[in-house]
Amino acid sequence: MKFTLLIRQGKTQLIGQLKEIPGVLTQGQTVAEVKENIQDALALYLEDMREEENDAAIIASEEVEFA
């Protein structure tokens, strides 16, 4: 998977966000720390999505490709 990591300067720390998944956010003191933390944030996000998928009454599942 490839994602675009956007890093902004916050008031006291750097804030990282995945452009393609705006709900995946993290922070850190350095760019390196943000890069490390965003991987953890993405892993937690995907884990939560899998749990929600198992809990919901899904009626269909399909992979869709966008150009």
Domain positions in the chain are: 5-55
The proportion of the chain whose per-residue pLDDT surpasses 90, expressed as a percent, equals 63
Q: Is the pTM of this model over 0.85?
A: no
DSSP E strands, the chain: 5-9, 14-18, 25-28
pLDDT at 21: 94
Sign of CA dihedral 32, 44, 67, 63: positive
